[in-house]
Amino acid sequence: MTSRELREIYQARFVIESDAIQKICRRHKGAPPGMAQLLDDMEEAGRQGQWRSFAQMDQALHLSLVRHQGNSVLAEMYESLGPRHTRLAVRTLVEATWRLDLIEKEHRSLIAALENHDPEEGIAVLRRHLQEIPEIIETFND
C-alpha cells in the first residue's frame, strides 16, 4: 500500500461517511443499532492485540454508519472499500499502536454526535479520525 492509496481511501471514506452523518443527524436517527456493542468488541480485540479482528470490526462499524443512512448504492460502494479499509487499518495499528486509545475515543465521540443529532460535531470527529498522521505516512511506500 502506498501513501497515495492511503490518502485516496481516506478521501473516499470521508466523502461517503460525512454524507451519511449529515443525513442521519438531519433525520434524528441516532447511532446505528449495535454500533456501541461493536465498539465494545473492537476495544477488547485491541486490548488483546488482535489487529485483524479490530480492523474488520472497524470496517463493519463504519459500514453500519453508511448503511444507516438508507442509501443502498452508497452502502454498496462503501462496502467495496472493505478489503482496503481493513488492510490499511491493520497496517496503521501495527505502525502506531499508540493511536489505539485515540481511535476508540473518536469512535465514542462519533456515536455521541449521532445520538445528539449534531452533524457538525460528527463531521469534525470524522475529519480528525481520518487525518493523515505524518509518522504513519512515512512508513508507506510511494
> How is domain 3-131 classified at the architecture level of CATH?
Up-down Bundle (1.20)
Domain ranges of the chain: 3-131
Q: Give the bridge partners for 2, in sequence order.
A: 141
Q: What is the pTM of this model?
A: 0.91
Residue 2, helix vs strand vs coil: strand
pLDDT (tens, 9 = 90+) of the chain, 142 residues, equals: 788 888 899 999 999 999 999 999 999 999 999 999 999 999 999 999 999 999 999 999 999 999 999 999 999 999 999 999 998 889 888 888 888 999 999 999 999 999 999 999 999 999 999 887 666 777 666 5
pLDDT for res 103: 93
pLDDT for res 36: 95
pLDDT for res 71: 96
pLDDT for res 3: 82
Q: What distances in angstroms separate CA 58 from CA 28, 141, 142, one per listed residue?
A: 23, 24, 25
60 grid coordinates = 463493519
